[in-house]
Amino acid sequence: MDSGADQVSKPIVMAVHGIAYTLSIELALAADIVIAAENVRFRQLEIGRGIMPFGGATLRAPVQLGWGNAMRFLLTGEEFGAQEALRIGLVQEVVPTGTDTDRAIAIAELIARQAPLGVAATLTNARVAKHNGEKAAIEHLRETLPGILASADAAEGIQSFIERREGNFTGK
């Protein structure tokens, strides 16, 4: 199943805090980078309500979190916090409560300062690998890399390295 994130050309950076039950977990699984406030409480509670998760958690959690981690929380409905979410790979960073949105914005801004062609190609190549395997990703890389290397952004990247400054990328 392609996540919504797999259908957009830019990465999805998400902040989560407070009570993040059911759909919040499924949104986090569909995002590219998730920042959690230390007070977040996660719970995939559908199993305790006589139903099952139906927003993609049964498809994405086993792959992203590992089978045992996914099954533990999908089958028990047990609540877990930010540190456990970090341990199992649901979130990439835990920050003090109230700073999660600012941190997610800072990461998104850092990504936005990078070479747009490189960001898009990296994201696409990683998605190809995720959905179609290593062989397909290698072929995609072979097809994509020459255009990236010939871009104005690649030339700017080299020049900025030589001049020891941040790149000024245009997406061309």
Strand pairing class (33-37; 93-95)? parallel
Cα–Cα distance measured from residue 22 to residue 142, given in angstroms and rounded to the nearest whole number: 39
26 is catalytic: yes
Catalytic one of 38, 46, 139, 163: 46
**Cα dist from 101 to 5, 34, 107, 108, 135, whole Å:** 19, 10, 10, 10, 37
* Side chain identity, residue 137: A
Catalytic residue numbers read: 26, 46
